[in-house]
Amino acid sequence: MRLEQLQAEFGDAITVVWRSFLLRPEAKPGGRPMDRFTEYTTNWARPADLEPGARFRVPWSGEHEPPSHSVPSAIGGKVAQLFGADVGAAFRMRLFEAYFGEHRTISRRSVLREVAIEAGIDGDAYDTAWNTYEDDLVRRVLEDHTTAVQSEVTGVPAVVIDRTYLLPGALDLEQYRKSLHHVLSRRETTPESEGTA
């Protein structure tokens, strides 16, 4: 994906840190109406065009119910990171495909366990890690979300560079490059400023 490509291009000059942002912090009684959710997913067409390496199916097929809320998948991602950065990245890519490409209900813990196994994590070890660290991981997810809101993030995708420059929405690769070059040139003229992209 684009951020991984930028990491490869810019090397040690940037560090990509994935954080949680909860589009739906809570499940609403009665679930999500399929017709409204299907209409919402037509908006995936633009991000799909910008991520040629990712598999999107637009709109939602209706084969599975929509996710009820964002917290379970955010916790699932934090659990996967406990197994190492490469494993966490593999889980994130697999989760992305499970949601956008396969239209699976990624708010279900059973589905998240399947995704973990598909990403190379032992299912029992994944469950044990979730059960052991859940309280701490929920706290970290909520801290990520709060930080994002304080950075004026209102949706995904969103990139915050050096905790200052917000790039909201699906942008093409060249827009990210220009922004990173701008920030890196400012870092050179202001040596005391450090941050992550």
State the Cα–Cα distance between residues 154 and 27, nearest whole angstrom. Answer: 18
Q: What is the pLDDT of residue 182?
A: 94
Q: What digits encode the pLDDT tens for the residues 20-60?
A: 999 999 998 888 899 999 999 999 998 888 887 788 999 99
Q: What is the pLDDT of residue 126?
A: 98
Q: What is the pLDDT along the chain (197 residues), one digit of tens a residue?
A: 788 899 999 999 999 999 999 999 999 888 889 999 999 999 999 888 888 778 899 999 999 999 999 999 999 999 999 999 999 999 999 999 999 999 999 999 999 999 999 999 999 999 999 999 999 999 999 999 999 999 999 999 999 998 889 999 889 999 999 999 999 998 888 755 444 54
Q: What is the pLDDT of residue 192?
A: 53
State the Cα–Cα distance between residues 148 and 114, nearest whole angstrom. Answer: 28
Q: What is the pLDDT of residue 31?
A: 85
State the Cα–Cα distance between residues 148 and 62, nearest whole angstrom. Answer: 31
Q: What is the pLDDT of residue 63?
A: 94
Q: Are 74 and 156 in contact (CB under 8 A)?
A: no
Q: Where are the domains of the chain?
A: 1-21+153-197, 22-150
CA 12 distance to own-chain centroid: 22
Q: What is the pLDDT of residue 190?
A: 72
State the Cα–Cα distance between residues 133 and 186, nearest whole angstrom. Answer: 39
CATH domain 22-150 topology: Glutaredoxin (3.40.30)
State the Cα–Cα distance between residues 4 and 102, nearest whole angstrom. Answer: 22
